């Protein structure tokens, strides 16, 4: 049985497309890179919109948001549902939370907020 040949290392390819001197095969060109997208005004993504919604609501309420439970783009900008602990209790399952609807313009500035629901942490939503 013949011994297996060691694998040959590949050399980095040039982008000029000239034939390789050792194999006389044309080298592949590197894929063209896309130009960066033109800068646009406004919030550039959902993650940034979530951070802005939670941060601005925290400044207004003086409480740290627990989570952002929903986020959706609108014609005017973004709308988010932000959960906030309003009253901490022991045990933690009895703490009172509130859900706020937060509306932001396309630049991420808070336009309005509204408390839509209050509930205890241990409460489970049941279908109607």
The percentage of residues in the chain with a pLDDT greater than 90, rounded to a whole number, is 59
* Spatial strand order in the sheet of 110-120: 65-73, 77-87, 96-105, 110-120
Q: Contact at 8 Å (CB) between 55 and 82?
A: no
d(CA 95, CA 87): 6
d(CA 92, CA 107): 36
Q: Contact at 8 Å (CB) between 82 and 69?
A: yes
3-state SS of 83-116 is EEEEECCCCHHHCEEEEEEEEEECCCCEEEEEEE
pLDDT, tens digit (0-9, with 9 covering 90-100), for 108-120: 999 999 999 999 9
pLDDT band of residue 4 (cuts 50, 70, 90) is low
Structure tokens at 89: 């209790």
pLDDT, tens digit (0-9, with 9 covering 90-100), for 21-52: 555 666 666 555 654 444 445 767 999 999 99
Q: Where are the domains of the chain?
A: 46-120
Torsions phi, psi for 60 (to 5 deg): -75, -40
Strand partners, 70: 81
This prediction has a pTM of 0.64
Structure tokens at 24: 């006389």
Q: Contact at 8 Å (CB) between 98 and 48?
A: no
């Amino acid at each position: 049985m013949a011994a297996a040949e060691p694998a040959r290392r590949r050399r980095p390819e040039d982008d000029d497309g000239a034939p390789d001197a050792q194999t006389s095969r044309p080298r592949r060109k590197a894929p063209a890179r896309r130009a960066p997208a033109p800068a646009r005004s406004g919030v550039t993504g959902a993650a940034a919109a979530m951070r802005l919604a939670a941060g601005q609501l925290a400044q207004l309420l003086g409480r740290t948001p627990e989570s952002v439970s929903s986020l959706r783009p609108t014609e005017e900008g973004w709308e988010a549902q932000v959960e906030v602990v309003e009253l901490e209790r022991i045990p933690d399952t009895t703490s009172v939370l509130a859900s706020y609807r937060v509306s932001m313009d396309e630049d991420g500035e808070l336009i309005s907020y509204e408390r839509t629901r209050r509930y205890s942490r241990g409460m489970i939503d049941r279908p109607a």
